[in-house]
Amino acid sequence: MDYQTLQSQYDRIYSYFRTTCEPFDFLDWDGKILEVWDKDKVVETYKYKDLRSFITKIKK
């Protein structure tokens, strides 16, 4: 997956999580798995297909 696609996906994911979820420190997205980090530990993990179910603008 190219950098531009990953960045576009990350931007959409970040926007969604910033406006709808509990505060977090950062998101780690590799195009397949999203890890939500808070205070130096992973607090949630999502697979791409799970994210697609609630963030409809994410495309491969």
Tokens of 58: 């994410």
pTM of the model: 0.86
Contact between 53 and 47 under an 8 Å Cβ cutoff? The reply is no
Q: pLDDT, tens digit, for every residue of 23-45?
A: 999 999 999 999 999 999 999 99
CA 40 to CA 46: how far, in whole Å?
A: 18
Q: What is the pLDDT of residue 6?
A: 92
Q: What is the pLDDT of residue 59?
A: 67
- DSSP H helices, the chain, are 3-20, 48-54
